[in-house]
Structure 1
Amino acid sequence: MLKKLITTIAVLAIACYFTYDNYASYIENPWTRDGQVRADIIQITPRVTGPVIELNVEDNSHIKKGDVLFKIDPSTFEAAKDQAYANLLQAKALLERAINEEKRSAELERRKPGAVPVLTLNNLANDVQTSRANVKAAEAGYESASLNLEFTTVTAPTDGYITNLNLQEGSQVVANQPVVALIDDDSFWVEGFFEETDLRHIRTGSLAQVTLMSHPDRPLAGHVRSMGYGISKADGSTGSFLLPNVNPNFQWIRLAQRIPVQIKLDKPPEDIQLIVGATASVLVSKHQQAE
């Protein structure tokens, strides 16, 4: 009986110790349950307008940098390139003709001074300069047409995940209008919103522990990358007649504002898939800094 009592007391003592240790850790170290997984989201935007003739990705698929996402019908851009090339050849021919006429007139003037009026010589020189400028313009037009043809093939700028894909073959895409969202595979971080009273204990480089709601038994190690330098205010924004809006109600219990703190994860496990918008809890170590 005494042995059972001693064992029970010992177990209770150990449980109380760990309970108090965890409680003290949460009290001493800044902690919040208001955290979210974030990542850089790249909006894939075509540079030219046209119908999609080939779609090489599926929704929620993983792609590599340089993979072809989709192709736009190139026929009109091939024709534009051919036309630009023809304009370039024509401009070069006119330049060669202008140079020959100037040389012939200059040679005639050298042999028989006064045979060619000065005004004519000046006009021929101006024709050469104009032809050179036309060649430059034609070269620029050809380069632009070549780029537009290249832009009909849209590739992935980085490794990542395609999400919320609504594009289909035959769909008309418009230049400079985003059509595909790509989540950068190497840019995940966790943003915790801490009360402003906790900021005095948070420093850039402080060690942090992140617990995802989807994996409560798998805490992830990280460190503080940065803290926000401002949040939007509710009172004082401009209203009608350029006067400030002021909330007529005031809570006597003033709640602390929440400031975003970015947490960079240190080598997250490969078997845990991070999802943008997922909920997380964040604990920042008050006295420990990342090496």
Structure 2
Amino acid sequence: MRYYVLDRGDQLSVDLSESFHKLAAEQGLELDAKSPDIVVSIGGDGTMLHAFHTFKDRIPSIAFVGIHTGHLGFYADWKADEIPELVHMMSGHADPGLLKPRIVNYPLIDLEIVNKSGTSSYVCLNEFTLKSVDGTVVAQVDINDQMFEMFRGDGICVSTPSGSTAYNKSLGGAMIHPSIEALQITEIASINNRVFRTMGSPLVLPKHHHCDIYSRKEQNLLLTVDHNNVHISDLISVRCQVAKQKISFVRYRPFPFWNRVRNAFLE
């Protein structure tokens, strides 16, 4: 089993990373920074996002597992004091009577961003947001190549099902189970008058649909893909659709999505 560890960088996470490496060596796991079978994230959900983007070009061939150093996250299954148990299970030396590890797959979003200088592609695990640097965003939203609405407001958030519990939720969006291959479009403080009319509620599109967001004035925009920011002053359009590929997480024990939701927001 080849593995790689990416930690948050704080002292606790660094210490846990070193402990993980020591235990992994004792269990016969091989450290491989280029082609790991499993990428271990130590920190929080933000660390997992960083790990995902670090290995985004190898998504089909690797799986992720998270160790949290604070509150239990949506992407982190294991606590710091459970590292020996996790390493033992990763090594394949666990009790044969225990449940075998399984792989769960979460949908991603593909983005195609077009500006005057060319086209660029991105993939996101949580969400994509479009905001203005100096005023309100004015944008036309098309669904399946048909004009849907003319938006004016603070911005637009397009989230994955797993990302629906993050920024999307704070905007009043719905929480969607990651087994549903969809994306969600949620408005950020939209303005409604006789010129600009929007739905005013989140929209959920299935995997075979797409939406296009067209800039409709000269505006300095901030595009955020998960935790990565891109400043664009000449945006033409952004196409959003459910990606063909998915991210894989390895589960060595059951941790249902709705249990994660309850633990995060109700307990």
The TM-score with structure 1 as length reference comes to 0.21
In terms of fraction of residues, the more strand-rich structure is: 2
Q: Select the structure with the greater relative contact order (CA < 8 A; seq sep ≥ 6).
A: 1
In terms of fraction of residues, the more helix-rich structure is: 1
Please identify the structure whose Cα radius of gyration is greater.
Answer: 1
